[in-house]
Amino acid sequence: MSKRINVVVWNEYLHEVEMEEVRQIYPDGIHNTIAAHLRKNSDISSVKTATLVQPEHGLTEALLAETDVLLWWGHGAHEKVEDEIVQRVYDRVQAGMGLVVLHSGHASKIFSKLMGTNTDELKWREDGTCSTVFTVMHNHPIAKGLPDSFVVPQEETYGERFEIPTPDDIIFISSFGGGPEVFRSGVTFTRGLGRIFYFQPGHETYPVYHQAEVLRVIENGVLWTAPDEMTKPIQGHRPLD
């Protein structure tokens, strides 16, 4: 029997519209490339997409209420995401919704709000060199089916200190071809009843989301952050009987 996971892939969707080189790689947008992959998984029952320019950024109360896992890709327009929608996503994560944050989504309002740190801070450089992603925790469900390491042929360089709290688990650590930088590239957190996975690869000017290993990590991240059936905590005033 399959799980019944409802997924929404959120994408800023500006670079693909505005930049020819990105549009050639992702003619229908990064969100649709990722969504098409996720639809092949039989544990995932629905995959919808949402983007910045839609009313409420496409993230209505009704949609989020039935969403099990939300993916987030953003880059240049983090500040244009309305605080009300950020709060809505935050509330859903607290209630158990999974969240998969991709690449430059590290600097999004929602990721920073959930982490409690300035997650936009890290070293970076667009030099288009390769990146090697090493599995550090081979027995984690997010590493399932992945090799001991794999190479992303062209990627933006991200380097530590990445301004995140100590992760629950570090599943991947990456190095980069153009310099000595290292990066905790696959990390998990828990906030409220929700599970969060951040994954670094995915610069928009390279075809990273067409690479099988990257798609597999994202797919695993969706399965792992999807909430199990769970008992809600009893909280509040509890008088003695």
Q: Does 163 bind a second copy (CB under 8 A)?
A: yes
For tokens 């519209």, what's the residue?
17
Q: Which stretch binds a second copy (CB under 8 A): 19-27, 67-75, 129-137, 203-211?
A: 129-137
Coil, helix or strand at residue 46:
strand
- Distance CA(207)–CA(214), nearest Å, equals 10
Cα(78)–Cα(168) distance, integer angstroms: 25
Residue closer to a second copy by CB (options 25, 187) is 187
Residues 36-65 contacting a second copy, CB under 8 A: none
CA 90 – CA 93 distance, rounded (Å)? 5
Binding range to a second copy, per CB under 8 A, among 13-21, 55-63, 71-79, 134-142: 134-142
Nearer to a second copy, 20 or 228 (CB): 228
Contact flag: residue 123 with a second copy (CB under 8 A): yes
**Neighbour-count burial of 220, counting CB atoms closer than 10 A to its CB (0-12 exposed, 13-18 middle, 19+ buried):** buried
- For residues 31 and 195, which CB has a smaller minimum distance to a second copy in the complex? 195
Contact with a second copy (CB under 8 A): which of 67, 104, 175, 200? 175
Is 11 among the residues that bind a second copy (CB under 8 A)?
no
Cβ proximity to a second copy: between 105 and 194 the closer is 194
Q: Does 173 help bind a second copy (rule: CB under 8 A)? A: yes
Pairing of strands 194-199, 182-191: antiparallel
* Subset of 98-117 contacting a second copy (CB under 8 A): 113-117
Nearby residues of 220 by Cβ (< 8 Å), 6 or more positions away: 141, 142, 143, 144, 145, 146
CA 90, 168, 200, 171 torsion: positive or negative?
Answer: negative
How many chain residues bind a second copy (CB under 8 A)? 72
The CB-of-49 to a second copy minimum distance in angstroms stands at: 26
DSSP class of residue 102? E
Site string for a second copy, 208-227 (x = CB under 8 A): -------------------x
Q: Segment contacting a second copy (CB under 8 A): 33-41, 60-68, 154-162, 209-217? A: 154-162
Residue list 78-97, contact with a second copy (CB under 8 A)? 94, 96
CB of 107 vs a second copy, minimal distance in Å: 12
In this structure, the number of other CB atoms found within 10 A of the CB of residue 42 comes to: 8
What value, to the nearest 5°, has the Cα angle with vertex 138 and ends 132 and 144?
90
